[in-house]
Every structure is written in C-alpha cells, then in structure tokens.
Amino acid sequence: MVTTAVTGRLQVSVIVPARNEEACLTDCLQSLTTQSGVAFEIIVVDDHSIDRTREIAMSFPGVGVLEAGPLPDGWTGKNNAVTTGAGAARGEWLLFTDADTVHLPGSLAAALKEAQENGAELLSYSPEQIAATFWEMATLPVVFAELARQYSPSKVSDPNSSVAAANGQYILIRRETYEAVGGHAAIAGNILEDVALARAVKSSGRKIRFRYGANAVRTRMYRNYRQLRDGWTKNLTLLFPSPGWLALRIFAWWAFAWLALSLGIVSVATRYWDTALCILPWAFLVIRINRAHFGIRMTGIAVAFGPLMFAYLLLRSKRAHASGNVTWKGRTYGPKDSPAHEVISHTPTPAGRLS
C-alpha cells in the first residue's frame, strides 16, 4: 500500500475521500504518487461511488483502496470516509486532501517541513482555484475574497487570536493531535468539517498554520453551474455568521455601482467631477474582491457579475439550511443531528476492506 521515495519510518498518510470522482481522480493520484522527499502512503476511500472511481484508484500500483462503511446516523459522508481512512493510516502525520486536487512536485515534503519548522500541529492550504466556466469566474473571486475577510490567514495562524479555519482540500495534521481532539468522529455530523476540526485543534491550545497555497496545490472545485450552486449552498451559511445581511450589503454595493456607472455615462460630456465620483463604488468593489488570488480578467468578471451571484447563493444556502434540505453528492442532510439519507441508490460494500 505504501508509495514512498524515502526509506525509513512512514511520515505521512495521504487520505483521499472519493465519491463519484472519475472526472478528476486520475490527475489527483498522478500528482500524489510522484511526490518525493518524504516517506508516505496513499489511501483512497471509495465512498459508495457508482462510477469508475474505485476502478481508477485500483489502477495505481501501491495505492490502497478502502471502502467506506454504511453511513451512520448523524454522520456526513465525508466524515465517515475520512474516518475510515484515518483508521487504516500508519503515518505520523495525516494529509486529508480532496480528489479534485492536483499537487505540485515536492509539495508534500515541503508542507511537512513547513509545519515542523513553524511548530504547527495543523497546516492547511487554500489551493489555487482553477475556473473555466463563466459561473466559476464570476463567483469564485467574490466567495474567496469574503472568506479572506472572515477568516484572515494571519489571524488563523496567530495563537493569540480565536479565529480558526482550515480548507478541507488540504489539511496536514499530526496524528497525535488528530487523535487527541477526537478526529472527524468528534465532529461527525458537521457539514463544515474543515473549520470544525481547526476550531477543535486551536481550542486545545495547539498551533494552526493557514495560508494561500498556490505553490503547493491547485483545484477545480466545480465543473458546471449545478455543482457550483449545490456546493456553495451546502457551505455558505455555515461560513458567514450573518448571511442575510452580508447578501444585502454586497448586493446593495453592486446595484449602487451599476447605477452610478449609468449616471456617470450620462454626465461624462459635461460634469467630469460627477463622473469621477461615479467610479468610486466600482473602486470599492475592485479593492474588496481583489484580496482573493485571481487574475485581472477573472477579477473584472467577478466585479461586474459576481456580487449578484454571491448574494443569491448566500440566501439560497440560508434557506436550505433553515428548511433542513441540504443536498450534496446524492445525499440530503436534514436538520442538525438527523441522519443523512441517500437520494441516489447504490449497493453498499463491506466496510474497511483494503485492496
């Protein structure tokens, strides 16, 4: 099961939960199996996929493939899958990473070194976000700019700050720390498991390091509008304390900016001072959204159209959680502490079998 480039003790267990990930799992595993400079193993946990996910995982020699057991009452699918992987892992550190990630050469060894040199018990990267469709380009810069405001990496990494966060696409955590805080089993029903795990680690007095990690990992989270809509519906109201007010504020600024631009166009021939003032709302939006790590083209698209989409997704997320009807990857999660149920049928397989 071990893929390793360095002899000696097993340093890192890479755990990849995968549910219907045939579109991206090959690229992920190719980038992981070619890592060097550290002794590691890779464990893919097939979370009842009905596509070629398991077949793809098993096509990589040395990669361990586990089957997640039936979903227990009150658990989310991802928490169930990663707990299965952690139970079989043998490394001193655990890297939880999603199947839609691609890891740059040497990034695993560099991340381990970074965590150790900074005394961090949990290191999390916010990956470089790849966008191809209009919806991705319009929405992602706004979402990640607001996340950067709510969960400032400098505050998250500051032991004296109570702010805690992590990105579930890349969480490297010392095994001893993971077990001490109860792992994902302690947050089994939490849809926002990455932030919940980070809060558990930080509240225990252990250090977190969180930063933008474009030099280590990249991802394309969603490949069409429906995935983007459902994914952020699942998360947004949990990420922001007052989603309704945030939606109202950012929509108001966006609407005001378009109104100001219209007035500016009318007055451009005669009142240059009024025209200059009409540009100010756009400057505010550019500054606000530019804190996310996207290029000029995507930032421009996001400034023009993103706030409307972000406000809609915030309200949609708030409504879905209030009604207890949050759907993701074929599962619908009801109110807190109620069991998830499948809306896509599958044939469960025995839990914990390693191939």
Per-residue model confidence as pLDDT tens digits over 85-114: 999 999 999 999 999 999 999 999 999 999
Q: What is the pLDDT of residues 229-246, one digit of tens each?
A: 999 999 999 999 999 999
CA gap 269, 330 in Å, rounded: 56
User: What's at 297, amino acid-wise?
Assistant: R
Task: Please report, for residues 31, 40, 85, 104, the alpha-carbon distance to residue 36 in angstroms, rounded to integers and kept in the order given.
Answer: 11, 9, 22, 11
- Matching CATH number, 2-127+167-223, of 3.50.50.60, 3.90.550.10, 3.30.70.100, 2.10.109.10: 3.90.550.10
| Per-residue pLDDT, 2 | 44
Interacting residues of 25 by C-beta distance below 8 A, sequence separation 6+: 16, 18, 44, 53, 56, 57, 99
Alpha-helical runs (H) found in the chain: 25-33, 53-58, 77-88, 107-117, 134-150, 153-156, 175-180, 193-203, 225-239, 243-267, 272-289, 296-323
Residue 128, pLDDT above cutoff 50: yes
CB 144, CB 293: distance < 8 Å = yes
Q: Assign 349 a pLDDT band (cuts: 50, 70, 90).
A: very low
The DSSP 8-state label assigned to residue 72 in this structure reads P
The whole-chain average pLDDT of the chain stands at 89
Average pLDDT estimate for 330-348: 51
User: What are the residue ranges of CATH 3.90.550.10 in the chain?
Assistant: 2-127+167-223
List the structure tokens of 256.
């005001």
User: What's at 235, amino acid-wise?
Assistant: N
Instruction: Kindly report the pTM of this predicted structure.
Output: 0.89
Residue found under tokens 């100001």: 260
| Torsion angle of the four alpha carbons 311, 223, 195, 36, in this order, in degrees rounded to the nearest 10 | -150
User: What's at 186, amino acid-wise?
Assistant: A
Residue found under tokens 């267990």: 13
